[in-house]
Structure formats: structure tokens, C-alpha cells
Amino acid sequence: MVPSKSQARPRTSPYALLASLSGLFPEQKNGGKKTKTNSQPHNPSSPCCCRSRRVSRLGSPSCPTAAAMNVKTALILLLLALATIFALVCVLLTRGRGPGTCQHQPPEPEVPEDGRSLVFADLTPEELAQVVRYLRGSLGVPLVDASRAKPSDNCIASVDVQLPAKAEVLQFLDAGGARPPREALAVLYFGNQEDPNVTEYVVGPLPVPTYHRDVTVQKYGGKVPYHRRPVTGVEYVAISALIQDELRKAPRFLAACCASDGTDLAVLTTAPRGFKSGDRSSWFVIFHAVEGTGYFVLPVGLEVLVEHGELDISLWYLSQVFYNGLYFSSTTKLEADFLAGSLEVIRVEKPQDATVMGSMRPRRPPGAPGPLQFEPQGPRYSIRDNRVTFQGWSIAFGMNPNTGPRLFDIRYRRERIIYELSLQEALALYGSNCPGGMSTRYLDGSFGIGRFAYELVRGVDCPYTATYLDRHYLAESDVPRTNQNSLCVFEHDAALPLRRHFSDTQSLYYGGLRKSVLVIRAVSTLINYDYVWDFMFHSNGAVEVRVHATGYISSSFFHGRGIDYGNKVGPHTLGTMHLHHIHYKVDLDIDGQLNSLETQDMGYEQLRAPWSEQNTIVRPFLHRDRLERENEAAFPLEAPLPRYLSFTGPKLNQWGHARSYRLQVVSFPGKHLPDSSPMERAVSWGRYKLAVTKRKEEEPTSTSVYNQNDPWTPTVAFADFIDNETITNEDLVAWISVGFLHVPHAEDIPNTVTVGNGVGFFLRPYNYFDEDPSVDSPDSIYFSSEREAEACEANPLACLPAAACAPQLPPFRYGGFLNISLPPPPGRL
């Protein structure tokens, strides 16, 4: 039997090939025994009788043509066989020399490359610089560069794109309307005036601005109080200096407790900052700092409370000190109690570099390289400007410096499914018996989810051959910054069939399609945690959104009943329990903007069996419901979601069902905060697994960066979005919460793995099509008992050996450390 292409590998001996071709003759050897060639009853009407795929059947006596062969024909066949052998041997020898170079075949563009997606594009460095230049010359007040600005100064805190209203954008994209003017949103801190406040301006048109307008009151209903502003890098540096000055007042205590003089310690901020609106009072947890490792798991037991609300930095002070379960009014008091012998000290030795807990340095030398995914003919996706296209998909992408990745105008087969898909917030809420841990409720948007999405490491953070893209931002500086290679795009072979079937009844066949997805990814490092943000697009029209948490756990010093709040993971380290809650916005447009929300779930009914009325049977039935009001579509965290929840459009598919997309949430969240908590309204989006509201331009985001430092009077309270408006045949937004409880354990050292620490949701077509659209995928394969699996036209995988090639890999380079001008909070003492 002639070997298949998959058998014809470079390692195959030409002599083995000659032996395998012995099937040209009526008899062949098999394991030392003579076996007859495949013979079946002759069917003269069968066109395959004399042209079987099995070469051995050419000499079968069951074929009349073969029986009538004369000597001349046999000689011709023999010569053809020898020529075939020679050709195959040549192929094998050629393959043995090594694979050729992959030839890049660029994919055909799937949408017109007309630059329309730029209506959603992030600002370029040139545009950011133009906005700064305009504001400096137009506001009539002195502006200090934010990288140097004190709280008592005026400065430009940040600049980002101001997206046009949805109606304007759709008129431009779909109806041939004018391109909306390109504008920027500038956030300014005015500390050098009688009434310090935060003001937001829309600046335009770009690239050369000529106007600005104050939109603060329009957005928030009033001025933004100055105490709500995020803490800046300049402020963190000042706080670190203050703490170090205070620690110098307790030298003997530091030497006894921590084997330190205070110069080799690090601090970690907590948030929020106090107990009521106007407070700016923060606990800072102190750790041993070891170069090149995560200090977050090396607490020394010391925490300090800093009052930093005054505009004059010189008036900031340390108001309390915590050590090993006890509170002190100052470091001077701490030192005095230590010298008096009234303070129990637990000595924490300074870690050594070679043995430090939490070190990520490899413990074994590099081994053989692992599997490598590559594209034999180059990427099958295409990127132009801020749009990526792939096998029917078209997505505009960007990055908000505060809230992180954002996608727009998501289309499949040229039909818009989603207008906006964006991350809104990430909450991490901790428990501990130390003040820093027990008071921490991080709202990561206030630190900068997009801003701290640094350069991705090729081959680890994303596949080696992924496409890497730069992102630009302006925050806490008058100079635009670039996080190079901080967004990646790649096609991922999930090593799983998207669908398949092997038929062993009635007829023998196999049909299948591998699961290959387009992935857009960014990774944000928010102090100790790293979040991997994935947006995935499947060939059946489904969208998958997921987040994985990794990085270092935050920890407290282990004392007292520490195990009530986590697990002991080191000699003096308590891995503190915490909740992760992530919030997303999905503005769906299914067959246009007018959508409705429908649910389906299963019930049971009992009836007499129609064929046997003396018996009863229980059968499941489908319960359908349409939700009419926002209050009905706000699903509390503790309540189960309907198992089928679909956003329907006005049109029907071929079978009479409303074309829909189904939302499927994969999440394990816990209660975000008790309703009685005075800061619960600031994170009231966490009340709901899902809330569906009528879309409004004045409700663009579910939270605000100002909520972190004043959660008691939140600038944006999501709960106010739900006011029982109708949601039937309206432009709808789905607000989705996902999350999980993390109780750190020994295996979180050195740091947390992504395995099991991922949540997300799917948006799946549900009667949107007349059949699964992946039937049109060029990756489908099908073969049967009547059709060779090794035929390229039936199975593209059979062609892979012939198409084998060596990818031209780019050299490994990394410049992510060069882009960091200011350390993210915390600072180093």
C-alpha cells in the first residue's frame, strides 16, 4: 500500500519505501506471511473497479481490464512504477535537507480599508502634545508639569480621546454622514486657587485645537472636590520620604524587629483613605525590600497611618503606628516602649537574595524549547490602523489609560454585533487582622489599568509570533509616554475541535473543524497583581471575554488569629483573603440598535402518557419570558441567572426565531460589600451579576476614578442607572460583573498562577444565523471510507508535510523597563 503523506516523513528510509511499494504486485508480504491483496466482488457498474485509490488493486483479477493486460501494458506499468519510486525517493532526500522558509501570503482584506475605524482611535503622541500646548496657552493660569506638581499647584493630570456621541458615529459609519470632529478629554488639577478642584475639558478639534469647554458639571452634576483626585507619583515620593524620616526615630526597634536601618524597606499603599468624605488618610504597610523579587510577601509587621490631606506637603504627618497587634501614637512612642521592655518583638531576619521567599529566578538551567505555534504562510489576520480583521471578524481596538482595553464596532460578516465592549473597573477587597489589609478596597481604575499595561514578553505573555502594538498615553506628565509592544494580537490554535463527529453507523465518515480563535490581549500590572485581559473571537460568531489573575498576593504580618483571614504561607506571612470583582460594559446592536431581552429556562410538567393513559410521565418544557423593565433585568449577585438570556433584534431567521445573541457568564463572585457599608454605593455595580439598562450618553461608564478616594460620596453611582425604564425595543447596554474569591495558600508562593484563576463570559449566536456559520470556514475537513483521508482537497491537514517550513522568527528583544519614568505606587523607602 502506498504510504500516506503523513507517513512520508524525512526519517523514512528509501528502502522501506521500496518495500512498501511491493503492493504493485498481486501478492505482498505482511509479517512474514503471504496475504492476498484486497479483493472485493466485481461490480462492472462501479467506476472505481479499475481505478481504486489502492494501487495494489491495479493487478486485481476481479478487474476485467487487468485480466486482459498484455505484456506490453505490464512493462509500461513497471516503468511508471520505477519512475514513481525515483520521484518519491528524490522528494524524501530533498526533505531530509531541512524545511524551507515560510512564504508569507497576506490575507485578503475583509472590509474596505477606508480609515473609518479611526473615529474610535486612541490619541497619537502628536495629538497629545498638541492638546498640552493648547491648554498651556489658553487657560490663563500657571500650569506646572504634572511630573513635578505638588498638590498646591495646577497641572494637566491626563489627556485621552473624547469619543463622539454614538448617533454621530453611526451616521458617519452607516449613513454617509460627516466624520465627527476629533476631540480630547483633558483632566486638570487646580490646586493653586481659592477653590481647589478637579476640572474636565473637552478640547478640539484635533490635530490643531481651537476651543475648549468645561464639561465637569455636565458629566457629574457639579464640581469634583479636590480631595477625590487620585494620589500622584509626586505625592507617593513625599509620603515615602516622610515615613523614612519617622522610622529614623526608632533605630533600635528597627534593628531588633527587622534587622534594618530603614533604608532597605518598601511600602505599599492602601485605599480608600479614611472613613468619610474629605479624608485623605492612608495606611502604608512596610516590607523587606530585596532587589529583583516581590516584596509583597515579606511583611515585617510594621504599618503606619499617614495624614496627607493638606495642600502643603510640609504639613503631612504620621498619626498612628501599628506593630504586631498593637497601636502607637508615633514611632517615638514605639521606640520608647521597646526600650522600656514593654513591647514583644518578633525578629524578622533580612532575606538573602539566594533564598528569599517570592523570588521568581529560575531554579534550574534552561531545558529544551517547548512547542512553538507559528503561521506557515504568515498571519491570517490583518491589522490596519486600529482595526483588525480575521475570517469575517472586524474589530476596532484601543486602550483607555484608566479603565484599560476597549473595543468598538465589532462586526461579523459585515454585520455589527457590538458597538462597544470595554473594561470598566477591577475591585480587589481584602480581609486581615492588620489595619492595612482590613481597610483595603482597591479600585484599580484609579491607579491606571491601561496606563500600567507594560510591554509584553514575546513567547510568554503572548505567542512568540504574535503581532505586538504600542500604546500611547499622557498621565502625570506633560510629555506623552509610550508603552511599546503592550497590546498583542494573534491567532490561537486551542488544540480542541470547535466541532467534530466520527460516524460509525449507517456510513463511515469524519467531519471536523479545529478551534482557532483571534485573540486581542493586554496585561496590566497593578502594584502586586497582574491581570491578563483577553478578548477572543471564534469562527462560529461567538465572542469570549476572560480575565486571568496572576502576580503576587498581598500579605499581612502573621499574628494572633490570622488564619481567620487567610493562610500562613511563610514564617511571618499571612496570605490575606480577598475578592476580585471585574466589571464590563457591552453595548450590543443586534440587527440594529433596537433590541429586547428574553430569557429561557426549563421547567417540568406531569401528564398522562398518550400511549398509555394509566401511566404518567414527567417531561421538561421550555419557559420563555421577555423582560420589560430595567428593574426586572437587574440580577442580584446572590440570585441565579436564567440559563438562557438573549438579546434579540427585530428580524427573524429562516426558521421564524428572533435573531439573537446569548449571554453566558462564567464567574464565581462573592458579596462585594454588605449593603450597610457606607462605601457600597461607590461599587454598587458589584450588586449585580448582570444589569441591562437603556443606553444613555450621560451614562458612559459604571464608575469613576474619583470613587477610590471618596467612596462615601461617589462621583458616579451605578445604582442610579437602574430606574425602571423600559428595555423593550431600545438601545440596550449589558453591564456584566465577574469575579472570584481568592484565599491565598502555599502554592501562591512565589506568586499566583493563572490556572483556575480565570473568569469571564461568552456572547454566542442564538438563532442569529440559519445554521452554524463556521461551515464556511476554510479549515473544515471531511473524509469518509469512500474518500481518502490523505487527499489534500478533502483534508488540508494532509498537505501540511508538503508545506512544512521553518518560521523566520524575529529576534527576542525587551525594552519594557526603559518606559518607566516614575515608579507605580508603592515607593521604595
Beta bridge partners of 17: none
Other Cβ atoms within 10 Å of 279 Cβ, number: 16
Beta bridge partners of 826: none
Query: How many Cα neighbours within 13 Å face the side chain of 421?
Result: 26
Catalytic residue among 529, 584, 644, 768: 529
DSSP-derived letter for residue 107 is P
Three cell numbers written together for 443: 479600585
Pairwise CA distance, residues 567 & 387, whole Å: 46
Strands 154-162 and 183-190: antiparallel
| Residues 6+ away with beta carbon under 8 Å from 359 | 290, 292, 293, 353, 750
Residue 134 catalytic? no
- For residues 173-210, one letter each, b for 16 or more C-beta atoms within 10 angstroms of the residue's C-beta and e for the rest, the string is beeeeeebebbbbbbbbbbbeeebbbbbbbbbebeebe
**Would residue 176 be called left, alpha or beta, if left means φ above 0 and alpha means ψ between -120 and 50 degrees?**
left
Catalytic residue among 444, 478, 530, 731: 444
Measuring CA to CA, how many Å separate 528 from each of 179, 244, 358, 750?
42, 22, 12, 12
Burial of residue 305, with CB atoms counted within 10 A of its CB: 0-12 exposed, 13-18 middle, 19 or more buried: buried
Grid cell 522528494 — which residue?
91
Pairwise CA distance, residues 516 & 539, whole Å: 7
- DSSP E strands in 273-400: the ranges are 281-288, 299-307, 317-323, 326-328, 382-384, 387-390, 393-400
- For residues 524-548, one letter each, b for 16 or more C-beta atoms within 10 angstroms of the residue's C-beta and e for the rest, the string is bbbbbbbbbbbbbbbbbbbbbbbbb
Three cell numbers written together for 423: 473594561
CB-based contact 425:704 (threshold 8 Å) = no
> Strand, coil or helix: what is 623?
strand
| Residues 6+ away with beta carbon under 8 Å from 613 | none
Pick from 530, 428, 447: nearest CA to 740? 428
Residue 706 catalytic? no
Helix (H) or strand (E) holding 15: helix 14-20
Pairwise CA distance, residues 43 & 254, whole Å: 97
Per-residue 3-state assignment (H helix, E strand, C coil) for 477-539:
CCCCEEEEEEEEEEEEEEEEEEEEEEEEECEEEEEEEEEEEEEEEEEEEECCEEEEEEEEECC
Backbone angles phi, psi at 607, to 5 degrees: -150, 160
DSSP-derived letter for residue 140 is -
- For residues 753-776, one letter each, b for 16 or more C-beta atoms within 10 angstroms of the residue's C-beta and e for the rest, the string is eeeebbbbbbbbbbbbbeeebbee
Three cell numbers written together for 274: 479614611
CB-based contact 262:304 (threshold 8 Å) = no
- DSSP E strands in 538-611: the ranges are 543-551, 555-557, 566-568, 573-576, 578-588, 596-609
CB-based contact 461:523 (threshold 8 Å) = yes
Three cell numbers written together for 677: 457599608
Q: Which residues are catalytic?
A: 444, 529
